[in-house]
Structure 1
Amino acid sequence: MWLEILCGVLIYNVFRRFIFGDVDVPDVDAGSSDPSFAVADRLEKIYGGKAYVGLRIPDPETSSRRHVDVVLVTKREVMVVAVRNFSGFVDVGEGGNWVCTVDNKHKPEFHPDPVLELTRQIEIVESYMQLRGLSLPKGNITAKVILPNPTCRPAYPITFHPEVISYDKWAELKSEKKTGVSSWIKDAFHGSKSGAQDEVFQKLHFILSTAPMWDRLEFKGDRHILGEFIEFKGNSDDLQALRLVNRSKVSRFTVQKASMLGLGRSRLQVLLSPRDYRADAASAFEWEELSVKPSTEVLFQPLNSNKACKFKLSNIISVSLSA
């Protein structure tokens, strides 16, 4: 009897994997995405406010878009954050680059100085804010380089920078529990009433929430991959239905696994959230629903990758699309 039950469970798992695909995140280098979301989540818990991850701010000098890991907006400050998931010993090399050495078996990795990169990113963020109708005084946006990897051992020339937060400092970081409005906002809007200051914060959030961002895939276990959604792969009927997923009209779609009603009849429910710049999220009554086969795939090019990857739709919780 137990043998029959065991065989039944084994057959079910094999069949379920064939129909719905693997439940884990595919083997893709998402390391540059997950730490940014984890850091953003912790910053919100420590300082409050709202963190925006994976921004692509237009750079007027290069006519391209500059990637920004995290921008945190609170009533005390605006913070631009660079998240570097470095491991091993990190020191400053020739030309000011940061050099990461894991061990003698691996070649050292060279990375541009993130402190200098942040200086340029802040200039771009300030310029973008001004372009969108909000002028912030120069020097009033703070910068932080966070090293969240516990195996990262930065040398003194790196930790000497006040902008750098090593793992030890990051682990011990706690909220200052201060109230009121910080000096930067008072200086920026001297003489303004609290209502006008609240209006400025609302405009800040509106600008950043509607700024260009990377598309993102969300998986179980709070896993994320930033990059660019390309297209769907599947049978012709499903692809015809999925033509409704147009980034100009859809900001996000979520995937729900339907119950198995019969052999070969399993379907996935895809809920489309219409794009609405007037609010943070669409009402549940406005969502549109599609039904597709679990074998449907998403073609997605991860950030910092030269190769597009296929992901089974059954493995995905949601996909957010930039306008």
Structure 2
Amino acid sequence: MWVELICGLVAFRLLKRFFCDDDDDLDGEAGHANANALFSVARQLEKLYGGKVFVGLQIPDADSGSRRSIDLVLVTQREVAVISVKNVSGSVHVDKDGSWVCTGRKMHKTELIPDPVAETKQLVPILESYLEQRGVPLPEGYLSSKVICPNPNFRTTHTDFFPSEVITYDQWIQLKPEHRSRLSGWIKGAFHGGKKEMQESMQEKLNFILSTAPMWDRLELKNNKYVLGEFLEFKGKKDDILALRNIKRSKVSQLAIQTSSICCFAHSKLQVLYSPRDYRGEGASASEWKEVCVLSSTEVLFQPQGSSKVCKYKLSSVSCMSLSA
């Protein structure tokens, strides 16, 4: 009996290497934690500094011919910040080459993290070039970078050696709306003396460009978790897959899932509402949203950011999904 149980457990773990079911595996949990940290920091930044925060951008890099991931971009009337969020837990010190050495709280495992400050600074000219190509050149010094560590278990050793671009957890929880200059490391008077209308116009252009920029696809789950990555396909009954055939990134930007008695008298059915993609960036009106009904057992195949695994999420566990162009 014990041999059978052990063999079954081994087989189960081997299968889990290739597919993770919903959010049960450790990689999935880590991916959720990182994505949740991004959205949590984004919400807090908007409260602290106003403006708009864009999450999970993938900005084309002309030099490498690939896309570079940017965690957050904060846009206000007077400033733009490229922000990396490091959801690091443990005791951290900065090595001679700028890399972070993190000793975890459990098992005292040590992790080496390549210099986050240098990596974030490299993203600034890439974003700057992208904005210029789309018709919004920014004044010199208007773009800057920061690294935020929002994990309450983040601890520093030799704090004096941490670069000023890093906002540690202790600093993060002390930020107040009236202390906005603590985040700003760039020239504060970039638009000093300019007309407010001109600042608002610039902000509107930046918001439009970044809202239509390539991003990671995202899932918002009903347990208040987020997943960033790439939507692959739906899995389920043939009739359901046929009903969902029009939900492709070239045609659809967003979909929402809800239970509805209008959809079907059977409780195992879900109502999927989806919005046609609008390349003008104006968004679809309520009358343009379409709907289909599928079984609640239908699944979304999604590859989380930074993972080689494909995860399956039941539609019944998903609130909404956004697809990047």
Normalising to structure 2: TM-score of the pair?
Answer: 0.84
Which of 145, 150, 165 is residue 167 of structure 2 equivalent to?
165
CA distance in 1, matches of 2:220, 2:257: 10
Question: Which amino acid in structure 2 is aligned with residue 60 of structure 1?
Answer: A
Distance 1:154 1:143, change over 3 A: same
Q: In the alignment, is the contact (CA less than 8 A) between 1:55 and 1:68 conserved in 2? A: yes
Q: Secondary structure at the match of 1:91?
A: strand
Cα deviation for residue 127 of structure 1 reads 0.8
- What's the counterpart of residue 19 of structure 1? none
Q: In the alignment, is the contact (CA less than 8 A) between 2:208 and 2:281 conserved in 1? A: no
CA distance in 1, matches of 2:174, 2:193: 37
Q: Secondary structure at the match of 2:240?
A: helix
CA distance in 2, matches of 1:31, 1:311: 16
- What's the counterpart of residue 267 of structure 1? 269
Output aligned runs, 1:136-215, within 5 Å: 136-156=138-158, 160-176=162-178, 187=190, 193-215=195-217
Distance 1:308 1:158, change over 3 A: farther
Say what the alpha-carbon RMSD is for the aligned residues.
2.4
Which of 82, 97, 100 is residue 98 of structure 1 equivalent to?
100
**Gaps spanning 5+ residues in structure 2: where?**
1-21
Identical columns (%) = 52
Structure 1 stretch displaced more, 102-111 or 77-86: 102-111
Q: In the alignment, is the contact (CA less than 8 A) between 1:251 and 1:320 conserved in 2? A: yes
- What's the counterpart of residue 248 of structure 1? 250
Cα deviation for residue 43 of structure 1 reads 0.2
Q: In the alignment, is the contact (CA less than 8 A) between 2:230 and 2:304 conserved in 1? A: yes
- What's the counterpart of residue 31 of structure 1? 33
Cα deviation for residue 154 of structure 1 reads 1.8
- What's the counterpart of residue 293 of structure 1? 295
Structure 1 stretch displaced more, 116-125 or 269-278: 269-278
Q: In the alignment, is the contact (CA less than 8 A) between 1:25 and 1:223 conserved in 2? A: no
Q: Secondary structure at the match of 1:172?
A: coil
Q: Secondary structure at the match of 1:162?
A: coil
Cα deviation for residue 273 of structure 1 reads 1.0
Which of 76, 79, 86 is residue 77 of structure 1 equivalent to?
79
CA distance in 1, matches of 2:139, 2:78: 15
Question: Which amino acid in structure 2 is aligned with residue 174 of structure 1?
Answer: K
- What's the counterpart of residue 7 of structure 1? none
Q: In the alignment, is the contact (CA less than 8 A) between 1:51 and 1:71 conserved in 2? A: yes
Cα deviation for residue 209 of structure 1 reads 0.3
Q: In the alignment, is the contact (CA less than 8 A) between 1:159 and 1:166 conserved in 2? A: no
Which of 236, 239, 250 is residue 238 of structure 2 equivalent to?
236
C-alpha deviations, 1:233-276, integer Å up to 9, x for none?
011111111011011111000000134976x6631000001111
Question: Which amino acid in structure 1 is aligned with residue 256 of structure 2?
Answer: T
Q: In the alignment, is the contact (CA less than 8 A) between 1:55 and 1:213 conserved in 2? A: yes
- What's the counterpart of residue 48 of structure 1? 50
CA distance in 1, matches of 2:224, 2:106: 34
C-alpha deviations, 1:283-313, integer Å up to 9, x for none?
1111000100001000000011001111101
Q: In the alignment, is the contact (CA less than 8 A) between 1:158 and 1:164 conserved in 2? A: no
CA distance in 1, matches of 2:23, 2:259: 16
Cα deviation for residue 191 of structure 1 reads 7.7
**Gaps spanning 5+ residues in structure 1: where?**
1-23
C-alpha deviations, 1:20-44, integer Å up to 9, x for none?
xxxx954413222110100000000
- What's the counterpart of residue 112 of structure 2? 110
Which of 106, 121, 124 is residue 122 of structure 1 equivalent to?
124
Question: Which amino acid in structure 2 is aligned with residue 249 of structure 1?
Answer: K
- What's the counterpart of residue 14 of structure 1? none
CA distance in 2, matches of 1:253, 1:66: 26
- What's the counterpart of residue 228 of structure 2? 226
Q: Secondary structure at the match of 1:243?
A: coil
Cα deviation for residue 76 of structure 1 reads 2.6
CA distance in 1, matches of 2:47, 2:257: 28
Q: Secondary structure at the match of 2:118?
A: helix
- What's the counterpart of residue 15 of structure 2? none
Structure 1 stretch displaced more, 62-71 or 132-141: 132-141
Normalising to structure 1: TM-score of the pair?
Answer: 0.85
